[in-house]
Amino acid sequence: MSNDEVYYWDWSRNLQLSYLDAPPFVAWISYLGSLLFSGALGARFLLPLIHVFSTLFLVLSGQKYAELTAKKFSNEAALSILILSQLIPAFNLEGILLLPDASLLLGISGALYFLLSAFNSKENKNKNKFPLKYAFLFGLFLGISALSKYHALPIAVGFFLAAAYVKFKINKTFDFSFWSVAILVSIFVASPVFIWNYQNNFASFHFQSQHGFADFSFSYKSFLRYLIGIIIYLLPWFFVLFFAFIIKIRKEHTQTKSIYLISILPFFILIGIISYSALGKDTLPHWTMPGFYLLIPAVALNWQPFTGSNARRWKIYISISLFMSTVLPTALSIKEFNNLLIKSFVYFTGNADPLTQAFLWQDMQAELKNQLNIKLKTQTYSTQTQIDSCANGYKIASLRWYWTAQMAFHFTDQPKIYNFDFTSSSFYTWRDDLAQLAGCKFIVLGSLSHYNEKKIETVMNIEYFESFYLSPYDNTKIVLIKGTMKNKEILQEVYEKSKNEINF
């Protein structure tokens, strides 16, 4: 489980209407799966099912595009959609990893299909208005998108502008009733996000705004890293394919170009916003992937990987993609392969530091005992509705959100690990009410690079400090701190300040 995955898994143990970092759907998915199975299997259990439905919506959307552009929806076109949705790393991993993107892709692919269905309905051909059943379904899936990730907003704007333009171009009308129903339904479905933000001073909206444009300072290096990241996520040959499609469509006749705008405009709005952000700060390339995902049905209709002039070359590229999308993830899921990978790094470089964030956590509790005789007693997690008790010995905390989440997931009994990071805001800022911890004894375990002595001394009387390394991660210095939390008034002040000063 990656850092983000265990973080969202920890959300699922503390269900809310929404969260600081993202909307709640990913936590709900993890919670439902965890009712059936424990560990990573439970947390990820529903993701392949979601991925299947997302793929089906892409295939159905491709069929609608074919009907609207008077093209044949061939077996090659259907297979092309499967290739693009299953063999591109950025998309096939959404069927495995516990990330908000999985349900976002379900939402936007469903919304695309029902919007295209409205254009292609028999009722629309006889009247100037779309059937309201499609407004309801379109709004429902937009709402699911909004419950998944804030990318839903620019994509929804793109859908609205493109569809309104195409509709007006066809019959010079604007279907007010269709859009009213769609907007109301989507807002109703996404209402947990708005309610939570209203109750928490719009903290999540403020936090998200800092992702893109806070501390903006022009940097061509950050943009190049972002662009290279997109190429890697899509694989170079598919990256070229997507942009070749956009260039080709510009040259086609007006009707075809107009209907494809329903996928193209959301893509351009999303990638435009994120690319602008990348000019001024480090931006994650996978944020643009939902835009590319919407292009898949249209790209597949205009791509001939098996019958076109470049069929031989595409077969080679597709074979490489198949290898990367199946063999590599499968190997990484085998413990013996991971152990061999760690030993190989140690053999050639002397340590396994590049693998720290992937593999440090699995045996961390055992290695603390084996290498340093540090024994950490843990207790089964209790929900937030129970008042924290200081009667059961030392509690455990860490200094950064992903350390907190990884320790909670991998330690015996999957205990509640507190988060003593008072610099960066996270879900734990809301979960961990410091005032309830007055007088409690704590062991704080984390990376030395995250340790801020002044911040820790604000909330805790430090009684013991030690720093060390855990082999084979010999360049990652870890600190262990023991101490007692200060009085309730001081802790309450720190807690309120952390909630009011949103930092990313």
In a domain, 58, yes or no: yes
Residues 319 and 404 in one domain: no
Amino acid at 51: H
For 111-170, what is each residue's pLDDT tens digit?
A: 999 999 999 886 555 567 889 999 999 999 999 999 999 999 999 999 999 999 988 887
pLDDT 10s digits, 157-212: 999 999 999 888 877 778 899 999 999 999 999 999 999 999 998 999 988 877 65
CB distance 444 to 417 below 8 Å: no
Are the C-beta atoms of residues 302 and 277 closer than 8 Å to each other? no
pLDDT of residue 385: 43
**307, 394: one domain:** no
Residues 170 and 226 in one domain: yes
Whether the upstream peptide bond of residue 472 has omega within 30° of 0, thus cis, is yes
One domain for residues 261 and 367: no
Same domain, 372 and 464: yes
Q: Is residue 133 part of a domain?
A: yes
Structural domain harbouring 204: 3-328
Please tell me the predicted confidence (pLDDT) of residue 248: 86
Q: One digit per residue, pLDDT tens: the chain, 504 residues? A: 999 999 999 999 999 999 999 999 999 999 999 999 999 999 999 999 999 999 999 999 999 999 998 899 999 999 999 999 999 989 998 889 999 999 999 999 999 999 999 998 865 555 678 899 999 999 999 999 999 999 999 999 999 999 999 888 877 778 899 999 999 999 999 999 999 999 998 999 988 877 655 566 777 888 999 999 999 999 999 999 999 998 888 776 565 568 999 999 999 999 999 999 888 878 889 999 999 999 999 999 999 999 988 999 999 999 999 998 888 888 888 989 999 999 999 999 888 999 998 899 989 999 999 999 999 988 888 765 445 677 768 999 999 999 999 999 999 999 999 999 988 889 999 898 899 999 999 999 999 999 999 999 999 999 999 999 999 998 889 999 999 999 999 999 988 888 888 777
62/201 same-domain check: yes
Of the three residues 272, 294, 328, the one that is the final residue of a domain is: 328
Residue 339 domain flag: no
For residues 280 and 365, membership in a common domain is answered with no
The residue type at 270 = L
What is the distance between the alpha carbons of residues 290 and 55, in angstroms, rounded to a whole number?
13
Q: Is residue 119 part of a domain?
A: yes
Of 279, 313, 328, the position where a domain reaches its end is 328
Q: What is the pLDDT of residue 125?
A: 59
In the chain, the number of structural domains is 2
Q: Which of 275, 294, 328 is the last residue of a domain?
A: 328
Q: pTM for this structure?
A: 0.92
Q: Are residues 70 and 154 located together in one domain of the fold?
A: yes
User: Residue 348: inside a domain, yes or no?
Assistant: no
Q: Edge to edge, what strands does the sheet with 441-447 contain?
A: 418-419, 395-398, 441-447, 473-485, 460-470
167 vs 64, 108, 126, 176, 258, CA distance in Å? 16, 20, 14, 11, 10
168, 49 contact by CB (below 8 A): no
Interaxial angle between packed helices 254-278 and 152-171, expressed in degrees from 0 to 180 and rounded to the nearest 10: 160
Q: What are phi and psi of 477, to 5 degrees?
A: -80, 130
Q: What is the pLDDT of residue 219?
A: 75
Query: Which residues, at least 6 apart from 56, have a Cβ–Cβ distance to it below 8 Å?
Result: none
- C-alpha torsion sign, points 244, 247, 248, 254: positive
Does a structural domain hold residue 337? no
322 occurs within a structural domain: yes
Q: Which helix (H) or strand (E) holds 39?
A: helix 39-44
428 and 304 fall within a common domain: no
| DSSP H or E run through 469 | strand 460-470
Residues 85 and 138 in one domain: yes
Would you state the pLDDT for residue 474? Answer: 87
DSSP code for 473: E
- Are 285 and 399 members of one domain? no
Q: Is there a domain that residue 96 lies in?
A: yes
215 plus 98 within the same structural domain:
yes
